[in-house]
């Protein structure tokens, strides 16, 4: 087993373990912390898969921004230590486990029936030629520039919407 596989399996097991801990811990703060760990191991896996720019974004955006937002809301609503136990009862656990197994079986069946992709490597030559950021940025600002602009508008709408919804109604 090569070193890269070893790193992959280490972070993959870390991601699975921390995601399982995330859905079973009672305290929302612990859940948020284990979500950070999961997203961080996913960032490491992105590095293994040669998506260096996305790995950096994953750490900055998810572990940096979104999780801070989650923790901020948990603290704001005072759910840090004064939380109600919220894991559903035994019946719901069985149903959820059944649904999960069915979903997993569906995905496995779908993947095993899929046709093989051609064994080409399209990303590595691009990364060698343009670097980690250039390879992503060039098509982003040429072919997908309209989508990029619309994304900017979407962020503006989300920002205004979040302020309007969360604002305390006075008068």
**Binding to other proteins by residue 54, rule CB under 8 A?**
yes
Q: How far apart are CA 99 and CA 91, in angstroms?
A: 12
**Binding to other proteins by residue 157, rule CB under 8 A?**
yes
Q: How far apart are CA 46 and CA 2, in angstroms?
A: 17
**Binding to other proteins by residue 40, rule CB under 8 A?**
no
**What x/- string results for residues 80 through 109 when contact with other proteins is judged by CB under 8 A?**
---xx-xxx---xx-xxx-xx--xx--xx-
Q: Within positions 130 to 149, which residues make up the interface with other proteins, using CB under 8 A?
A: 135-136, 139-140, 144, 147
CB 48 within 8 A of CB 7: yes
**Binding to other proteins by residue 44, rule CB under 8 A?**
no
**Binding to other proteins by residue 113, rule CB under 8 A?**
no
CB 68 within 8 A of CB 39: no
Length reported for the chain: 171
Smallest distance from other proteins to CB 149, Å:
12
């Amino acid at each position: 087993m090569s070193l890269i596989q070893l790193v992959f399996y280490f972070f993959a097991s870390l991601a699975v373990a921390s995601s399982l801990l995330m859905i079973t811990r009672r305290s929302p703060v612990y859940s948020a912390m284990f979500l950070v760990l999961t997203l961080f191991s996913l960032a490491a896996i992105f590095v293994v898969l040669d998506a260096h720019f996305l790995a950096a974004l994953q750490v900055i955006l998810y572990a940096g921004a979104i999780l801070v937002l989650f923790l901020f809301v948990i603290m704001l609503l005072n759910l840090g230590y004064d939380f109600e136990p919220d894991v559903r009862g035994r019946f719901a656990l069985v149903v959820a486990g059944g649904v999960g197994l069915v979903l997993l079986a569906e995905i496995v069946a779908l993947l095993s029936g899929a046709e093989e992709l051609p064994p080409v490597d399209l990303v590595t030559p691009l990364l060698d030629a343009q670097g980690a950021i250039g390879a992503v940025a060039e098509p982003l600002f040429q072919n997908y520039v309209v989508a990029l602009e619309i994304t900017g508008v979407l962020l503006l709408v989300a920002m205004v919407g979040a302020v309007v919804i969360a604002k305390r109604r006075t008068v």
